[in-house]
Amino acid sequence: MIDVRRFGRRASPGKVRGRATGGAVGGAPVTYGLIALCCAIFLISPLSGFGGASYGSQDALLAAQAGYFERWGVIPADLWEGSPRALVTPFTALFVHGSWVHLLGNLLFLYVFGAMAEERMGRARFVLFYVGCGYLALVCYAAVHADSEQTLVGASGAISAVLGAFLRLFPKARVTSLFPFLFFLPLRFPAWIVLVFWFGLQWAAAQAADAGPGVAYLAHVAGFAAGFLYAWGRYRGRTRVKVPATATEGDSQP
């Protein structure tokens, strides 16, 4: 989840190797449905770049984009006024993205980590988990920045929750990652190393961030914590595995 138009993640996964019941990659319709839905919504939005000529001028296009964010995104200052419309926006904002980079960066993480988490939780529970934790992450950010009028959009809070749950459910899964400070060399680590490192980056960035435009790191922290705590409380026993899952592939992003 980010403030308008900017996205940043520091360590991007290339693929995950692990085990999940039933073969996660081929049995994750919710994960792939969420990816398809986010793509479809972005393509028909005034942000995709398609149909820009229909607005007549650049100013009209920018006005349409601003109105789109205000209608579907979360504005913390409005959220705490308690209007029914504002209370729905933490849900609608999960499916709105500010740019192609924002969209593809988020969906890469969902594609890599979502399938195995969904397979472990089950489809219905995964949907409720994704939406509930995403909503909570946005509300947490809005609570800390209650006077902010910046519009918040994106699925990063929900996807951060998926990462937190993945850490609890599959800490020893092998994650191949590309790190900018290691010259993007592909290195394989247990998931717990990669995800704890990622969380540490988000936490450190959240301490320095303000409520202005940019990445809402606090929502990443809140979503990750919510996802981990949910999985820790719900799946206290050892995660059972039966068949190896095919590795999921993804491109890296600085």
- Distance between CA atoms of 40 and 50, rounded to whole angstroms? 12
Beta-bridge partners for 187: 177
| In contact, 118 and 21? CB cutoff 8 Å | no
Provide the residue count of the chain.
254
Per-residue model confidence (pLDDT) at position 11: 37
Model pLDDT, residue 240: 46
What pLDDT is recorded for position 177? 60
Please report the pLDDT score of residue 6 as a whole number.
30
pLDDT cut 70: percent of the chain above it: 72
Angle at which helices 156-169 and 191-208 cross, to 10°: 140
Buried b (16+ CB within 10 A) or exposed e, 203-225: eebbeebebeebbbbbbbbbbbb
167-188 pLDDT tens trace: 999 998 887 665 554 444 455 6
Cβ-based neighbour number of residue 89 at 10 Å:
25
pLDDT score for 233: 92
Average pLDDT of adjacent 10-residue blocks, the chain of 254 residues: 33 42 62 96 87 71 87 90 88 93 91 93 96 96 89 94 95 70 54 86 81 77 96 74 36 30
